[in-house]
Structure 1
């Protein structure tokens, strides 16, 4: 416990010394912390609200991938999102040496699931082509992005919820791009906290793009998404919590926002990585 407190204090001191805005200064205060076993967590999370049921936190991990999807070659699942009982998952092809597709799995409130396989475009990197997905609060658009250093995010019509979106299995085309004014690297999870604002957590190990590594980023769109390209401003709002009795590499993963609560997953260093830390934040 003392080691964890010391590490937390060291992190806070470092942020203050470098002049980096903390999540608290950016309008968020940490309100909770829990741990989840890594047999079900570690790749993402979202709050699922099914009609007639209490809200449920859904976690993603390699072990949660259904075997039929693994057999098709979808061996990695990213950070999901959910709205109105619809669950949106993103998958990467891990069997093909040079992947040419990525997949969105949409599960309806009644439990039926539909695969939307998208052929990668020339400007979509094949490796880690789907790391996360976020649905706009109005349910019309899905925003997704890969790992690696990028200057844009992809926008697609949300299946079933957007009249322009597909309703049967097939391609989920890119309708527009979000052009970022500042590069980001390895955004592992993102979620909308407003119609024009995303919060993302990165596993960026460097501090060349922003003053700290492992950043929490705020992305503000110039206007709500309509299916046309839009610009966005990116700023760091702090570093993800790095608190553990183990020392080594932390890995931020999923981000979830629901009913005023922002949740961020952080996998602690080995051997403490048998669980995933989930930190909760609320607006000040």
Structure 2
């Protein structure tokens, strides 16, 4: 997802983390924070990447990394007005995509597209609640490890994330096209800005990447944030603690605007997408990290 505001390479704080293999992301973390060590880096063509990624596992098939880009949106969805796709997630062979209405001047809905293991898809169109911002109403979605809940959030500066029952996997969730209601909210003890991608790395912990170009909320810009919940998501409101654990890797032969995008966690590996500055932005950098 492209940021509402972008960041220049100039003026980055001295806390910028080098992204060479072996770099550690731990800036600003406390004793309760995560420490992630970079273990890999690859690039993916921007014709298919640059808006998000997720690991999909299907029985008897090789593990697949699913990438999202505006060009990957099926034409029928574009015709319906769903012109922007955010960072997806996948669990138990299902893929959960989040879409933004880009045709309506004042959007009143957002859409979750669920792809089942057999490849069939179902649209769940949700009327926005009074506290749900219309712009970039869906920036990312993350499935809880137990598969019961989807946690999503908009771009911009926010103080909460939204919880919905997972279609097909949660008995409280819908099984046919219709509304995917908000069941609860995760209230954040610290505002976050422009969270482009999030994923659960445990039952009570999310890692998010932001394209926040400023350092007024946290010591650095373009942060990796850790969100800790006091208990696993259960469909009731909860307040979570937010802390910065570092800055996304910013490495390119081009200077200018970097845009962090999707976040994926699977089998102990955390992946973070970063779109480099133009003209290097024909590819998306994907950095891999493991806990240490």
Asked whether the two chains share a fold, i.e. TM above 0.5, the reply is yes
- Which residue of 199, 203, 216 maps to 1:195? 203
Q: Which residue pairs with 1:113 in the alignment?
A: 121
Partner of 1:151: 159
Return the alpha-carbon distance in structure 1 between the equivalents of residues 12 and 185 of structure 2. 35
Counterpart of 1:234? Answer: 242
Paired position in structure 2 for 1:69: 77
Q: State the distance in 2 between where 1:100 and 1:156 align.
A: 17
Assess, with a 3 A threshold, how the Cα gap between structure 1 residues 54 and 11 changes in structure 2: closer, same or farther. Answer: farther
- Match for residue 136 of structure 1? 144
Could you tell me which runs of 5 or more consecutive residues in structure 1 were left unpaired when the two chains were aligned: 1-7
C-alpha RMSD of the superposition: 1.8
For 2:28, the equivalent position in structure 1 comes to: 21
CA distance in 1, matches of 2:16, 2:279: 26
Q: CA deviation at 1:241?
A: 0.1
CA-to-partner distance for each residue in 1:89-110, whole Å, 9 max, x for gaps? 0000000000000000000000
CA distance in 1, matches of 2:210, 2:109: 23
- Residues 212-244 of structure 1, C-alpha deviations (whole Å, 9 max, x = no match): 000000000011111100110000000000000
Instruction: Check if 1:96 corresponds to 2:104.
Output: yes
C-alpha distance after superposition, 1:71-96 (max 9, x if no partner): 00000000000000000000000000
Q: Pick the structure with more helix per residue.
A: 1
- CA separation in 2, counterparts of 1:100 and 1:11? 37
Give the structure, 1 or 2, with the largest relative contact order (CA under 8 Å, sep 6 or more): 2
CA deviations 1:134-173 (Å, max 9, x no partner) are 0000000000000000000000000000000000000000
> How many residues matched?
273
Q: Indicate if the aligned counterparts of 1:182 and 1:233 stay in contact, CA closer than 8 A.
A: yes
| Alpha-carbon separation, structure 2, partners of 1:217 and 1:120 | 26
Secondary structure of the corresponding residue to residue 223 of structure 1: coil
Post-superposition offset of 1:52: 1.1
Residue 63 of structure 1 and its aligned partner are, at CA, apart by: 0.3
Q: Is the Cα–Cα contact under 8 Å of residues 22 and 239 in structure 1 kept in the other structure?
A: no
For normalisation by structure 2, the TM-score amounts to: 0.91
SS in 1 for 2:265: strand
The CA distance in 2 between the partners of 1:265 and 1:239, in whole Å, is: 13
Deviation at 1:27, TM superposition (A): 1.6
Gap runs ≥5 in structure 2: 1-8, 18-25
Relative to structure 1, is the Cα distance of residues 15 and 22 closer, same or farther in structure 2, using a 3 angstrom cutoff?
Answer: farther
Note closer, same or farther for the CA distance 1:12–1:120 as it changes in structure 2 (3 Å cut): closer
Q: TM-score, normalised by structure 1?
A: 0.93
Counterpart position of 1:208:
216
Asked if the contact 1:15/1:21 (under 8 Å) is kept, the reply is no
Contact 1:15–1:22 (8 Å) recurs in 2: no
Aligned residue in 1 for 2:22: none
Alignment of 1:134-283 (within 5 A): 134-283=142-291
2-side partners of 1:163 and 1:91: how far apart? 24
Aligned to 1:5: none
* CA shift in 2, pair 1:230/1:200, >3 Å: same
